[in-house]
A and B are shown apart, each in its own frame.
Chain A
Amino acid sequence: MGKTVKIAGSTALSLAIAAASIGGAHAADKIKVGLMLPYTGTYAALGNAITNGFKQYVEENGGKLGGREVEYAVVDDESNPAKATENARKLVSREKVDVLVGTVHSGVALAMAKVARDTRTLMIVPNAGANDLTGPLCSPYVFRSSFSAWQPSYAMGEALARKGLKNIVTVTWKYSFGEESVAGFKEAFEKGGGKIAKEMTLPFPNVEFQPFLTEIASLKPDAVFVFFAGAGAAKFVSDYSAAGLKSSIPLYGPGFLTDGNLDAMGAAGEGLLTTLHYADGLTNARDAAFRTKYAARYRMQPDVYAVQGYDAAQMYDAGLRAAGGDPGRKEELIKGMESATIDSPRGAFTLSRAHNPVQDIYMREVKGGENVVVEIVSKGLEDPARGCKL
Chain B
Amino acid sequence: MDFASFLIQTLNSLQYGLLLFLVASGLTLVFGIMGIINLAHGSFYMVGAYLAFVLSSATGSLVMAIVLGIPLALVFGAILEWALFSHLYKRDHLEQVLLTYGLILIFEQLRSLLVGDDVHGVAIPAFLDASIQLTEVMSYPVYRLAISAVCVALAVALYYVIQRTRLGMMIRAGNDDRSMVESLGINIDMIYRVVFALGVALAALAGMLAAPISSVFPNMGSHVLIISFVIVVIGGIGSVWGALVAALIVGFADTFGKVLIPELSGIVVYVVMAVVLLWRPEGILKKG
- Please report A residues at the B interface, Cβ cutoff 8 Å: 40-42, 44-45, 174, 200-203, 205-208, 210-215, 217-218, 220, 230-231, 234-235, 238-239, 242-245, 248-249, 260-261, 263-266
Contacts and interface: CB of A to CB of B under 8 A. Distances in A.
A245 B258 CA distance: 19
Interface string B1-33: 110110011001001100000000000000000
Interface string B91-119: 00000000000000000000010001111
Contacts of B121: 234, 238, 263-266
B140 interface: yes
Contacts of B8: 214, 217
Nearest to B5: A218
B81 interface: no
A45 B118 CA distance: 8
Interface stretch (B166-174, B190-198, B211-219): B211-219
A244 B138 contact: yes
Nearest to B109: A40
Contact of A201 (B135, B223, B262): B262
B213 A231 contact: no
A208 B135 CA distance: 21
Contacts of B15: 210
A203 B12 CA distance: 18
A210 B141 CA distance: 11
A44 B137 contact: no
A260 B263 CA distance: 30
A136 B151 CA distance: 51
A210 B138 contact: no
B259 interface: yes
Contact of B131 (A42, A214, A242): A242
B217 A231 contact: yes
Most A C-beta atoms less than 10 A away, residue of B4, B117, B143: B117
Contacts of A206: 223, 266
Contacts of B256: 211
Contact of A231 (B112, B215, B255): B215
Given A243-B139, A260-B119, A263-B119, 6 more contacts: A218-B1, A218-B2, A218-B135, A234-B119, A235-B214, A238-B213
12 contacts: A41-B219, A203-B265, A210-B15, A210-B255, A214-B5, A218-B1, A218-B2, A220-B137, A231-B119, A231-B215, A248-B137, A261-B119
Contacts, number: 122
Interface residues of B, number: 44
Nearest to B116: A45
A42 B259 CA distance: 29
Contacts of B1: 218
Contacts of B120: 263-264
A44 B117 contact: yes
Nearest to B222: A205
Contacts of B112: 40, 44
B133 interface: yes
Nearest to B218: A42
Interface in B117-131: 117-121, 123, 131
Contacts of A231: 119, 215, 217-218, 220
A249 B8 CA distance: 18
Contacts of A263: 118-121
Given A231-B119, A266-B121, A203 B140 contact: no
Contact of A244 (B2, B4, B133, B144): B133
Closest 7 CB pairs of A and B: A244-B139, A231-B217, A217-B138, A203-B266, A264-B121, A242-B141, A210-B12
Given A201-B262, A210-B16, A235-B215, A245 B137 contact: yes
